[in-house]
Structure 1
């Protein structure tokens, strides 16, 4: 496994996103298979494990904690906080709390659920527009000083927010959506990160499954699958985006690789300060994703992908209006 560098933090070039093990993509979870997938990732050298306190209303952190029992020292463990949770522990839709008080309680709760004494990378999941970022980062820095956290990160923020946060405490990584069909970070935030020496962690690097070429219709989704409510997966947008993916499939076939592997290889080719975290809850797809590490793309390959999938070609927003208001803050 190759390595990537997120500030001073070294991680495997490909990580494992664990959200789908507990929510969002339909079909009841299989904890035994999910834990086996985490173990298979570690065995293969994919040692960057990503979760969040809001995934499954805390159940995902508990699941990851069980998976890491006896293997904690073999991984770089990342989690997030910021989405408001009720007294019962349930996420409040589209409400973010970045107050210092909430940050202090959130890290302690995450450590309890994970069953660990520290996490390696702790992100603010979304910026709270009502709280100065300096105050939120100040409270997160307290967790570093207390030994509960090693490094700090931000998610779905603007370059200006990164700059302001970095002035309070070093930011090691920013996590946002980036893939062939979500190119926004290339102009909005990535230049700032590289100026400051901050790494980038792309989530949904396979376009929430679209870039695998396996999705053919909105009817493929379970009734509780979050993608049913995302503009890119609905109406005419679905077919327009499917036509783009067909071009990626053709290029993948010409190289003798899977579309998912080609899409991940494209991200890995962007630099060793990039560490995508494709999510899966099955060992089969984990093995397919890890195969991307062995795919070498030439300058001609990269140019062909850019031509096949122009930066502004995708139809539809990433989220419904409420979700879009919380990104690039």
Structure 2
């Protein structure tokens, strides 16, 4: 059953494309990346998510040409407001920066429009009002180069301020059994405003994927190396949760990753999930989660097992946490 996103009816499981160029150590070759994108099309994926930041433009350069033959049949999402400048990650929500980013993204994506364009980060560090950033994005919607506007990693308060300037079609934030912050206010605020909620990392950055994850084996540039939940003493405490989670998945006759994704989608009809992967086998596994119907008992059991009170460690290091605008649980 398809769900609404930015004026389109799409499958509730899309593809987060970041992994193909960015963040988890050694990305696949461009040729293998294209193969995975084309396999996603074959499996019925019609929502693809990229960003100017990913690979400092390389992800858009990969995704755009690969999906160009299918352009009119898919929803293509990208992001602005955070990008690579002279080899460094920079947050910049100024109107002039967003205009320049859009033109660069359109060129790399080889398209004349981006269906859903997110502000990747609310530029609170440089004190750029959300109204200024969204106001410029709204003007770019009027040009026809942007279909709809989204926000990423924002609070309900920021969402409502932005929505007063221009309708916000979607909010994208991390959401999974082990990252429940969105339940404080944003998921409900999206429903109130008629916006979709797009969950990235629904498999908890691989933690709930079912494999034998060992942070010691992460690649040197894997961003999880800097995340407290994958560091000691937190990782050992979190790993204790996995055997029972896997038992529950086995009882439901699905894989752990499918249980994680299906749980995310069960939390609201306006919720979408965009798991990322570099593996075609994992891609097939993830997409099949769209056919899973979880019982109320299974949902209750996994929520009781894995939640903000049972998971150890913050999801981001302090520096990254300062850049985002999401609500936090007390004591987190």
Q: 2:255 maps to which residue?
A: 258
Could you say what secondary structure the match of 1:260 adopts?
A: helix
TM-superposed CA distance for 1:277, in Å, is 0.2
TM-superposed CA distance for 1:96, in Å, is 1.5
Match among 114, 118, 123 for residue 123 of structure 1:
118
- Asked if 1:323 is matched to 2:314, the reply is no
Contact 1:6 1:274 in 2 (8 A): no
Contact 1:231 1:237 in 2 (8 A): yes
Could you say what secondary structure the match of 2:302 adopts?
A: helix
Contact 2:121 2:324 in 1 (8 A): yes
TM-superposed CA distance for 1:3, in Å, is 1.2
Q: Deviations over 1:4-49 (max 9, x none)?
A: 2235343220000010100111124221121111111112111100
Provide the rounded CA distance (Å) in 1 between the counterparts of 2:213 and 2:67.
35
Q: Deviations over 1:180-228 (max 9, x none)?
A: 0000100131121111111100001111100112143212312221111
Contact 1:217 1:238 in 2 (8 A): no
Q: How does 1:63-74 map to 2 (within 5 A)?
A: 63-74=62-73
Q: 2:136 maps to which residue?
A: 139
Contact 1:78 1:119 in 2 (8 A): yes
Provide the rounded CA distance (Å) in 2 between the counterparts of 1:103 and 1:42.
30
Q: Deviations over 1:158-196 (max 9, x none)?
A: 101100110111100000000000001001311211111
Match among 238, 242, 263 for residue 241 of structure 1:
238
Provide the rounded CA distance (Å) in 2 between the counterparts of 1:28 and 1:181.
25
- The alignment covers a number of residue pairs equal to 324
Match among 93, 99, 102 for residue 97 of structure 2:
102
Provide the rounded CA distance (Å) in 2 between the counterparts of 1:84 and 1:8.
27
Q: 1:52 maps to which residue?
A: 51
Q: Deviations over 1:88-116 (max 9, x none)?
A: 4x343xx4211111111111110001010
TM-superposed CA distance for 1:85, in Å, is 3.5
Match among 286, 289, 303 for residue 292 of structure 1:
289
Provide the rounded CA distance (Å) in 2 between the counterparts of 1:100 and 1:299.
46
- Asked if 1:173 is matched to 2:164, the reply is no
Contact 1:123 1:154 in 2 (8 A): yes
Q: 2:330 maps to which residue?
A: none
Could you say what secondary structure the match of 2:207 adopts?
A: helix
TM-superposed CA distance for 1:83, in Å, is 1.4
Could you say what secondary structure the match of 2:192 adopts?
A: helix
Unaligned runs of 5+ in 1: none
Unaligned runs of 5+ in 2: 327-332
Q: 1:32 maps to which residue?
A: 31
- Asked if 1:182 is matched to 2:163, the reply is no
Q: 1:197 maps to which residue?
A: 194
TM-score (norm 2): 0.94
Q: 2:147 maps to which residue?
A: 150
Provide the rounded CA distance (Å) in 2 between the counterparts of 1:5 and 1:317.
32
Q: CA RMSD in A?
A: 1.3
Please identify runs of 4+ aligned residues in structure 1 that moved more than 6 A: none
